[in-house]
Amino acid sequence: MDLGAAPGGWLQVAKELSEGKIVGVDLEGIAPIPGITTFRADITQESTVDLVKNAIGGSADVVICDAAPNLSGAWDKDHALSIDLARSALKMARKLLKARGNFLVKVFQGDMFPSFLAEVKRDFSFVQAHSPAASRKESAETYLVAKHLLTAPVRQGDVMDVQIDSVGKSGDGVAMIENFAIIVKKSNLGDKLRVKIQAVKPNFAFAEILERKDK
Ligand SMILES: C[S@@+](CC[C@H](N)C(=O)[O-])C[C@H]1O[C@@H](n2cnc3c(N)ncnc32)[C@H](O)[C@@H]1O
């Protein structure tokens, strides 16, 4: 799925790299490319998700977004608009990607970048910022490569009360939240604990003890 795909350069590369279905969306029209579905829509609009879902006919393996605002020349404004577009793309990626799907998004650097990066990190198990040599220095474009969409019911930094109901091979206690394993270091069977999620992996999370509730 290619968001902000006009005039279609990335779509053509995607076609060379993938044998899967490819769909492109943009505010502007895209000249027909054999085998690729394209349509005009605004990625900041909620209704676009349904249009895209219908076009894909399921969930996507990969969402890429090169969408960019019309440049005003005022960097702060262009940066804010770029972050806004990237946030819309992230929202769409959450709804469109299959579990463990991948996301790539372009953003203009600026003071809102770190908080956007943190948002992407909450949803994917691997995130790396990459500034290709081809990007002009003054434009300070960065591409975020985010791999493996997390579908876990917890996120890094969450605080919750749990009970340890089994012990893993490592000897650490394990609490289950909605069938998802939370490994709590230095815990024992039966412990009732307030924990903080430290890291989330596709199939389990690590947590640290904040407070013992039963001792
Ligand atoms: C740099 S171009 C994309 C180039 C494309 N990756 C290619 O290879 O041809 C950025 C595109 O983002 C699109 N865009 C900007 N805001 C958008 C929005 N809200 N919804 C959809 N597309 C948008 C623009 O119309 C423009 O075509």
Reply yes or no on whether 106 is catalytic. yes
Marked catalytic residue, from 77, 95, 98, 106: 106
pTM over 0.75: yes
pLDDT at 202 over 90: no
Sheet holding 60-65: strands in order across? 36-40, 22-26, 2-3, 60-65, 97-108, 141-149, 124-130
CB atoms within 10 A of CB 29: 12
Size of the chain, expressed as the number of residues it contains: 215
The share of the chain scoring above pLDDT 90, in percent, equals 79
Query: 162: closest CA among 207, 198, 200?
Result: 207
pLDDT tens, residue by residue, 16-29: 999 999 999 999 99
Angstrom distance (rounded) from CA 82 to CA 209: 39
Q: Is 99 exposed, middle or buried (0-12, 13-18, 19+ CB in 10 A)?
A: exposed
**Would you call 198 helix, strand, or coil by DSSP?**
strand
Q: In which residue ranges of the chain is CATH 3.40.50.150 found?
A: 2-149
Distance separating alpha carbons of residues 93 and 84, to the nearest angstrom: 14
6 touches ligand 1 (CB under 6 Å): yes
* Ligand 1 in reach of 42 Cβ (< 6 A): yes
Does the pLDDT at position 124 exceed 80? yes
> What confidence tens digit (pLDDT) does each residue in 70-115 have?
988 888 899 999 999 999 999 999 999 999 999 999 999 899 999 9
Q: Which CATH number fits domain 159-212: 3.40.50.970, 3.40.30.10, 1.10.3130.10, 2.40.50.140?
A: 2.40.50.140
Q: Residue 86: what pLDDT?
A: 98
- Which residue CA neighbors atom 23 of ligand 1 most closely? 4
Does pLDDT of 133 surpass 80? no
Question: Which residue ranges does the chain devote to CATH 2.40.50.140?
Answer: 159-212
Which atom of ligand 1 has the smallest separation from the CA of 6?
27
CATH architecture of 2-149: 3-Layer(aba) Sandwich (3.40)
Average of per-residue pLDDT values in the chain: 92
Q: How would residue 170 be classed by pLDDT, with cut points 50, 70 and 90?
A: confident
Torsion of Cα atoms, 53 then 59 then 60 then 61, to 10°: 180
Q: How far is the CA of 102 from the centre of ligand 1 (A)?
A: 19
Q: In angstroms, what is the span from residue 121 Cα to ligand 1's centroid?
A: 24
- Is the sign of the CA dihedral 20, 11, 107, 93 positive or negative? negative
Question: Between these two residues, 140 and 163, which has the higher pLDDT value?
Answer: 163
CA–centroid distance, 203 to ligand 1, in Å, is: 35
Give distance in angstroms: CA of 5 to centre of ligand 1. 5
With bands split at pLDDT 50, 70 and 90, how would you rate the model's confidence at 137?
Answer: low
Q: Nearest-CA neighbor of 173 among 157, 156, 193?
A: 193
Lowest mean pLDDT among 41-45, 153-157, 190-194: 153-157
